[in-house]
Amino acid sequence: MIIYLNGEFVPEERAVVSVFDHGLLYGDGVFEGIRAYHGRVFKLGDHLDRLYDGARAIALEIPVAKEEMQEIVLETLRRNDLRDAYIRLVVTRGVGDLGLDPRKCPKAFVFCIAASITLYPEELYEKGLSVITVATRRNIPTACIPRVKSLNYLNNIYAKIEAARSGAPEAIMLNQEGYVAEATGDNIFLVKKGALITPALHVGLLEGITRNTVMDLARERNIQVEEKVFTLYDVYTADEVFLTGTAAEIIPTVQVDGRLIGDGQPGPMTRELRTAFHELTKVDGPLIYQEKAECGCCAK
């Protein structure tokens, strides 16, 4: 595996980060998980916008222009001869001292990994997930802004530990007021009486790229889309529930806290949006490899 490491491409065994890097010491930095499908990097522009917005929110200056960052992602895929992949793009605060002060870190550190990922087995996409609600509440926006995809994921990890110890593959997190926020690594959607419903951003959640894509796909199909606050009652009584994320894509959820959702099978809107999503991945995003047009002599 070839890794982009702060200005050069190196073998995996040489891809190392300093023990004084504040991304390691304090979770100080931002990242993106990105997918490549069919030789294209899906929604790369949206991912880069979120990366740079998150960095701005935490006063982190990324030492690479956005256009150059796009080329870094594409070249990492080329160096690993990949057309379908999961990409992890990370920007840390960089090397500093053992104190908290980010001003002691003169320059941010950038690395990019391209590999494969399988979050859930295919069987769960056909039959659906069974998830639980956990006691761990989502970070409040005035403490640690959930809309920043930061390297500090301990809030999500606490919830994931609860889910794992209960034998559940994923968990729903509530905010401090008891409203549904998101899952540990995914956004959540409900379907009720033909409308598609997802938590409003101010509830406290990450604004997912797949989340926004799904809402766009629904609107194109004249499906009513609502972003609003709701409780577990609304989840339990929904006609359909599904989760969305870059790694998970769109995965149906058929049981929550032991309660069957609808008839306990993935619903028709979930299936329709999954199909539309997969079709979009074939045409959206910059090409990794620029295809050469076939000339007349080559065709002979």
Q: What is the pLDDT of residue 117?
A: 80
Give the relative orientation of helices 209-220 and 44-57 as an angle to the nearest 10 degrees.
Answer: 130
The yes/no answer on whether domain 2-115 falls in CATH 3.40.47.10 is no
Q: What is the pLDDT of residue 1?
A: 94
- Count of all residues that appear for the chain in the document: 300
Angle at 153 between CA 235 and CA 55, to 5 degrees: 110
Mean pLDDT, residues 194-208? 97
Under the banding of pLDDT at 50, 70 and 90, the label for residue 291 is: low
Alpha helices in the chain (DSSP H): 22-26, 44-57, 66-79, 122-127, 154-165, 209-220, 232-236, 268-280, 296-299
- Tokens for 168, please give them: 């559940």
- Residues 6+ away with beta carbon under 8 Å from 103: none
Average per-residue pLDDT in the chain?
95
Under the banding of pLDDT at 50, 70 and 90, the label for residue 298 is: very low
Strands 249-256 and 259-260: antiparallel
Q: Choose, from 66, 104, 149, 282, the residue flagged as catalytic.
A: 149
Q: What is the pLDDT of residues 125-181, one digit of tens each?
A: 999 999 999 999 999 999 999 999 999 999 999 999 999 999 999 999 999 999 999
Given a cut of 70, whether residue 295 has pLDDT beyond it is no
Catalytic residue check, 149: yes
Asked if 146 and 117 count as a contact pair (C-beta separation under 8 A), the reply is no
CATH topology of domain 122-280: D-amino Acid Aminotransferase; Chain A, domain 2 (3.20.10)
Mean pLDDT, residues 175-192? 97
Strands in the chain per DSSP E: 2-5, 8-11, 29-37, 40-41, 85-92, 109-115, 129-133, 171-174, 180-183, 187-192, 195-198, 225-227, 240-245, 249-256, 259-260
Asked if 92 and 29 count as a contact pair (C-beta separation under 8 A), the reply is yes
User: Which segments of the chain belong to CATH 3.30.470.10?
Assistant: 2-115
Asked if 186 and 208 count as a contact pair (C-beta separation under 8 A), the reply is yes
Q: What is the pLDDT of residues 42-72, one digit of tens each?
A: 999 999 999 999 999 999 999 999 999 999 9
Question: Can you name the residues that pair with 4 across neighbouring β-strands?
Answer: 9, 112
Higher-pLDDT residue of 22, 141: 22
Q: What is the pLDDT of residues 85-117, one digit of tens each?
A: 999 999 999 999 999 999 999 999 999 999 988
Under the banding of pLDDT at 50, 70 and 90, the label for residue 300 is: very low
Q: What is the pLDDT of residue 116?
A: 86
User: Which segments of the chain belong to CATH 3.20.10.10?
Assistant: 122-280
Q: What is the pLDDT of residues 204-231, one digit of tens each?
A: 999 999 999 999 999 999 999 999 999 9
- Tokens for 140, please give them: 């409040």
